[in-house]
Structure 1
Amino acid sequence: MNADEGMRAVAIAAVLGSGCATLSLEQAPLGPPGDAARGREVFVSREGGHCVLCHRVPGVRVAGDVGPALEGIGTRLSPGEIRYRVVDITRLNPEAVMPAFHRTEGLARVAPAYAGRPVLDARQVEDVVAYLGSLR
């Protein structure tokens, strides 16, 4: 069992033992607060995260439906919870199709252009977090 699996097991046990119905896993900021306008550009850009390939958001006509619609996500999740998912969703859901956008270790089938570097840098992650947090 690796560290993330251990953390997940402890968190799940704590939730089950407490009778709580929700699990809050957060990631600390990777840098200064992001900019929502830049985050939107990263979200829709093929050169950025290209998140619209799988997710729907208000105001974007061409969007996918593989992942959940993200309208109102800023009211449901804290910035730390959003960041946790953007950085590496597989820590929360090992079966997720969404890539780890800010992890370089332990990945399989990485495109040569991204070998050894994250898909999104720290500023881009914070910008996407700011954008998604603005969706209320």
Structure 2
Amino acid sequence: MKHTLGFAVVATLGASMALAEEVKPMAVSFADGTVAASLTGVAGDPVNGRAVFANRKQGNCLACHTNSDLSEESFHGEVGPPMDGVADRWSEAELRGIVSNSKMMFEGTIMPAFYIDSGYTRPLDDFAGQSILTAQQVEDVVAYLMTLKEE
């Protein structure tokens, strides 16, 4: 009985994940720079989001932002605003919009659009037509940013 119940739970979870359809980069719906709906229909993982945030080959967020939560990492940038307390300053929808394509929120920003796949020049042909982050990585980073509240 336990095995049957366990299988049913796994099957249900698998089916619900299969129903969640990823929003393609150029189909993201922005309203005043915000993105209200999840890009994947799956909750973000803040632990993975923290790793993506710190990863110099993915988000590379530390190149521009300081973040006390990642004090073990060296070379925090000071070009962008500090991430300490970011969840108190921005809503989840605002953060999703900023991470997806900050240019929709901040005209003239130098922050890259992490979830677009056209309309830009990539220095390496191997990356042409690809977004910097996947939809799930965007959701993970947003989930992580939502943990950064003032103490």
Instruction: Name the TM-score, length of structure 2 as normaliser.
Output: 0.70
Which amino acid in 1 is paired with 2:67?
V
Gaps of 5+ in 1: 1-6, 12-24
Which amino acid in 2 is paired with 1:42?
V
Which amino acid in 2 is paired with 1:128?
V
Which amino acid in 2 is paired with 1:57?
N
Partner of 1:134: 147
Q: How far is 1:75 from its partner?
A: 1.4
Gaps of 5+ in 2: 1-29
Q: How far is 1:110 from its partner?
A: 1.3
Which amino acid in 2 is paired with 1:30?
L
In structure 2, distance between residues paired with 1:68 and 1:114: 28
The reply to whether residue 26 of structure 1 matches residue 38 of structure 2 is no
Candidates 96, 100, 105, aligned match of 2:109: 96
The reply to whether residue 116 of structure 1 matches residue 129 of structure 2 is yes
In structure 1, distance between residues paired with 2:130 and 2:56: 17
Partner of 2:85: 72
Q: How far is 1:91 from its partner?
A: 1.1
Matched residues, number: 114
Partner of 1:4: none
CA RMSD of aligned residues (A): 1.7
Overall identity of the aligned pairs, in %: 37
